[in-house]
Structure 1
Amino acid sequence: MVVINHDSGQPYYAQLVAGLKREIARGILQTDDQLPSVREMAKAHLLNPNTVSKAYKQLEAQQVIRTVPGKGTYVNAIDPAVARSELQQKLQQLVLQASQAGITIADLITWLTKMEGQSL
């Protein structure tokens, strides 16, 4: 289950977005799994329903979830080609930012290698 840190400086909706994405990546949430309603999620995490709604809308915009009116909110299937393309674009941006900060690709590879064995 997603954990919201009420002492964190990160906005609650961002924590919820990251937590749900993490659960999908770990396989805890799978394609077509139904998410709790906005009210249920808000109650479970002691959040304002508007905060949960904002997180769900952001995830919908990213096509991670879909809402079926009158039925609920569900996890979308991920198109591997689209995911690969999006990740390549993000990686290009990251490499550019790293280069501007004086960080080499070799440094990034070292970091990725260390992260490979760690859990998401």
Structure 2
Amino acid sequence: MQIDHVSGQPYYAQLVEGVKQDVEHGILQVDDQLPSVREMARQHLLNPNTVSKAYKQLEAQQVIRTVPGKGTYVNAFNPTSVRTELQKRLQQIVSQAQQAGISFNEMRGWLDQMEGTTL
């Protein structure tokens, strides 16, 4: 996982996405231990508060869990929470599209074009 220090995206958001992608791609496995907040901050040249914020978001999304006194671990894949998260993100995209004047029919056309292709 890399943090782009020149990107406009907040560091904590990059860290959240990076951990989620590492889980999705099998780089991080269920029950793998993540570095401590301080160690992750040191590895990526970040403020520990930034890493803590990312870990809190990942916990809220049930991607990771913290065991007091033991560490932070990758959770088992939970299809329900993934489905819920994707539904929220899709709702945000639809809202943005509507604000930009894009119709549902146009979005359906995009989905039809994507069906069967790998992104």
- Considering the TM-score relative to the shorter chain, is it more than 0.5? yes
Q: Which position in structure 2 is the counterpart of 1:45? A: 44
TM-score (norm: length of structure 1): 0.80
* Long gaps (5+) in structure 2: none
Map of 1:24-39 to 2, 5 A cutoff?
24-39=23-38
1:77 has 2:76 as partner: yes
2:118 corresponds to which letter in structure 1? Answer: G
Name the CA distance, whole Å, in 1 between partners of 2:18 and 2:56: 15
Q: How far apart are 1:105 and its partner, in Å? A: 4.1
Name the CA distance, whole Å, in 1 between partners of 2:51 and 2:103: 38
Percentage of pairs with the same residue = 66
Q: State the aligned residue count.
A: 116
* Long gaps (5+) in structure 1: none
Q: Which position in structure 1 is the counterpart of 2:64? A: 65
Could you list the per-position Cα deviations for residues 55-82 of structure 1 after superposition, in whole angstroms to 9, with x for gaps in the alignment?
1111112211110011110011132133
2:30 corresponds to which letter in structure 1? Answer: T
Could you list the per-position Cα deviations for residues 84-110 of structure 1 after superposition, in whole angstroms to 9, with x for gaps in the alignment?
244234324423432332224454453
Tell me, yes or no, if the aligned pair for 2:28 and 2:74 is still in contact at 8 Å. yes
What RMSD in Å do the two structures reach over aligned CA positions? 2.2
Deviates more, 1:104-113 or 1:94-103: 104-113
Q: Which position in structure 2 is the counterpart of 1:20? A: 19
2:114 corresponds to which letter in structure 1? Answer: T
TM-score (norm: length of structure 2): 0.81
Runs (4+) of structure 1 moved beyond 4 Å? none
